[in-house]
Amino acid sequence: MIFIFGGVGHALGNPAGDNPVRNIQIVQNEDYVVMLAEYFSLVRIIRIDSEFRPGQGNKWMGDSIGYYENNSLVVHTRHFRPEQSIGSLRSSEAFEVKEVFTRVSDNEILFKYTITDPNIYTQPWTAEIPLQRMREGLLLYEYACHEGNYSIPSMLRAARMEEAGLL
């Protein structure tokens, strides 16, 4: 199944990161859930009904495993790289994230996450964000910087002309 939802902070292992709201695409099969974030085109692969892999080293977005509990996807992520401790969210080697994605309707998922790091925080803390399905016809776009790209006005003008049937 493929779902595209808007309004998630990061949804890629460290949901409380300093990234602005962007869109994500969720693709799932029997063994994996894959999340593609529009922001920086980050891809996250969640192994379903798996275990954490020992000796794999730390990863930028951590190591994520998931399972289904009733109508929710529950994801546990740990083994983040130490460089993840940036911006307003500090972390240590004990940093873990538990995420719960609950489908509340055909067009909405409630995204709830809990941050645990006993070396930084006195207790775990939780937040939740409702994710709305994107309207039909909207797409995820490649994230790219365009400063100094002087051809953008011409490309946009050509696209508008094509839409108007002038090309």
- pLDDT tens-digit map of 51-103: 887 777 777 778 899 999 999 999 998 888 777 665 667 778 888 999 999 99
Residues 6+ away with beta carbon under 8 Å from 56: 63, 79
- Here the CATH number for the domain that contains residue 81 is 2.40.128
Please check whether residue 4 is in contact with residue 25, taking contact to mean a CB–CB distance below 8 angstroms: yes
99 three-class SS: strand
> 15: pLDDT confidence band, cut at 50, 70 and 90?
low
Angle at the Cα of 46 (from 42 to 52), degrees rounded to 5? 120
Print the domain residue range for 88. Answer: 2-163
Q: Rounded to two decimals, what is the model's pTM?
A: 0.74
Higher local confidence (pLDDT), 41 or 162: 162
Look at residue 2 and tell me whether its pLDDT is greater than 50.
no
Amino acid making up residue 152: I
How many domains does one find in the chain? 1
How far is the C-alpha of 24 from the C-alpha of 3, rounded, in Å? 8
Least reliable range by pLDDT among 51-55, 105-109, 142-146: 142-146
In the numeric block, the tokens 């039909």 are attached to: 136
24-47: string of b/e by CB count within 10 Å (b at 16+)? bbbebeeeebebbbbbeebebebb
Stretch 30-41: mean pLDDT, rounded? 82
> 122: pLDDT confidence band, cut at 50, 70 and 90?
very high
Q: What is the pLDDT of residue 88?
A: 66
Q: Read off the tokens for 160.
A: 């508008």
Look at residue 23 and tell me whether its pLDDT is greater than 60.
yes
Q: Which helix (H) or strand (E) holds 162?
A: helix 152-163
> 12: pLDDT confidence band, cut at 50, 70 and 90?
very low
